Amino acid sequence: MRLSVNIDHFATLREARGASEPEPALFALLAEQAGAMGITTHLRTDRRHIKERDLEIIRKVIKTKLTLEMAATEEMKKVALKIKPDVVCLVPERPEELTTTGGLDVVANRKALAPYIKNLAKGKIRVSIFVDPELKQIQACRDLGAPQIEIHTGIYADLKPGKARDKALADVRKAAEFGDKLGIEVTAGHGLDYRNVGPIVAIPQITELSIGFFIVARTALVGITQAVREMVELLRK
């Protein structure tokens, strides 16, 4: 199981102050050093966290795999073909949302997605699609020739342990088995943390997890003691 660290919210921290720090590319490098096997970023239409300059720098400096999450728009296609991430993960995007709230409706958007995916593939970019754990969506990804999918784990992750969560987990498992049977590489992500990741890791067909918010939030907690100590030390001097 590979971990791809989503660094978006490290950039959110920078944007909260409109400052030049913290530098997302540094976070990406440290994540790699700590064992991450990939870096994921979402370039949103409103550029609320990651910017093109971040992508350009990260593309140059990281040694693992870069996954670019993006909406299937003409603007984003141009960016992707310029930056050349290893993987583009197509996601739905609603301007008012705080985070991606569900998978892409591949069935409904089949016609528009077909040439879009072909263009990216021509540019030697591997295409993944973020989908809800629904077999018809996964079948549509296969029909469009997508070599990879990311199954949305957010529905499972947001539920408390119990019957509804068991059902959501079973849906993810069935979706992973189905994708694998169709010959698609199956990855997963959204809302995963130390507590809920175990049952997802136990699904053998899933090869990679994209985890962001929890890791960035945890970074602040485990780093606060050292950061305050350093400042106190400086004040003492």
52 is annotated as an active-site residue: no
Are the C-beta atoms of residues 79 and 52 closer than 8 Å to each other?
Answer: yes
> In the bound complex, what is the minimum distance in angstroms from residue 39's beta carbon to ligand PXP?
12
Single out the catalytic residue among 49, 69, 134, 150: 69
Residue 95 or 225 having the CB closest to ligand PXP? 95
> In the bound complex, what is the minimum distance in angstroms from residue 234's beta carbon to ligand PXP?
33
Residues lying near ligand PXP in the complex (CB under 6 A) are found at 6, 8, 42, 69, 89, 91, 99-100, 130, 150, 189-192, 210-214
42 is annotated as an active-site residue: yes
The DSSP element (H or E) to which 88 belongs, if any, is strand 87-90
Three-state SS for 103?
A: coil
Are the C-beta atoms of residues 175 and 154 closer than 8 Å to each other?
Answer: no
Single out the catalytic residue among 9, 49, 152, 190: 190
What span, in angstroms and rounded, lies between the C-alpha atoms of 65 and 146? 18
Single out the catalytic residue among 42, 49, 93, 208: 42
Using Cβ positions, the residue closest to ligand PXP within the complex turns out to be: 212
Query: Quick one: residue 47, left, alpha or beta (phi over 0 = left, psi -120 to 50 = alpha)?
Result: left
152 is annotated as an active-site residue: no
What span, in angstroms and rounded, lies between the C-alpha atoms of 177 and 163? 21
> In the bound complex, what is the minimum distance in angstroms from residue 187's beta carbon to ligand PXP?
9
Catalytic residue numbers? 42, 69, 190
